[in-house]
Amino acid sequence: MALVSINELPENILLELFMHVPARQLLLHCRPVCSLWRDLIDLVTLWKRKCLREGFVTEDWDQPVADWKIFYFLCSLRRNLLRNPCAEEDMGSWRIDSNGGDHWKVESLPGEHGTDFPDPQVKKYFVTSYGMCLKSQLVDLKAEGYWEELLDTFRPEIVVKDWFAARADCGCSYHIRVQLASADYIVLASFEPPPVTVHQWNDATWTEVSHTFSDYPPGVRHILFQHGGKDTQFWAGWYGPRVTNSSIIISPKTSRSLAPSGALPETLQGQGEAS
Q: Report the percentage of the chain scoring pLDDT > 70.
A: 91
Beta carbons of 63 and 254 less than 8 angstroms apart: yes
> What is the pLDDT at residue 266?
38
Q: What is the mean pLDDT of the chain?
A: 91
> What is the pLDDT at residue 3?
72
Average pLDDT rounded to a whole number, residues 28-32: 93
Given a cut of 50, is residue 271 above it in pLDDT?
no
Query: Can you tell me the distance from the alpha carbon of 43 to that of 68, in angstroms, rounded to the nearest whole number?
Result: 9
> What is the pLDDT at residue 50?
95
Q: Report the percentage of the chain scoring pLDDT > 90.
A: 81
Given a cut of 90, is residue 61 above it in pLDDT?
no
Query: Can you tell me the distance from the alpha carbon of 105 to that of 161, in angstroms, rounded to the nearest whole number?
Result: 21
Q: How confident is the model at residue 254 (pLDDT cuts 50, 70, 90)?
A: low
DSSP class of residue 182?
-
Q: How confident is the model at residue 170 (pLDDT cuts 50, 70, 90)?
A: very high
DSSP class of residue 74?
H
Given a cut of 90, is residue 134 above it in pLDDT?
yes
Q: Which residues of 210-225 are buried (b: 16+ CB within 10 A; e: fewer)?
A: eeebeeeeeebbbbbb
Average pLDDT rounded to a whole number, residues 64-70: 90
> What is the pLDDT at residue 130?
98
> What is the pLDDT at residue 256?
42
> What is the pLDDT at residue 260?
40
The Cα angle at residue 233 between residues 229 and 235, in degrees rounded to 5: 90
Average pLDDT rounded to a whole number, residues 5-31: 91
List strand residue ranges (DSSP E) for the chain, in order.
95-99, 105-108, 124-127, 133-140, 157-165, 172-181, 187-191, 196-198, 207-213, 222-231, 242-251
Query: Can you tell me the distance from the alpha carbon of 157 to that of 151, in angstroms, rounded to the nearest whole number?
Result: 10
> What is the pLDDT at residue 63?
87
Average pLDDT rounded to a whole number, residues 100-107: 98
pLDDT in tens, 177-204: 999 999 999 999 999 999 999 999 999 9
Higher pLDDT, 269 or 13: 13
Query: Can you tell me the distance from the alpha carbon of 86 to that of 123, in angstroms, rounded to the nearest whole number?
Result: 7
> Which range is least confidently modeled, 88-102, 143-157, 162-176, 223-237?
143-157
Give the containing element (helix H, strand E) for 45: helix 44-54
Higher pLDDT, 164 or 253: 164
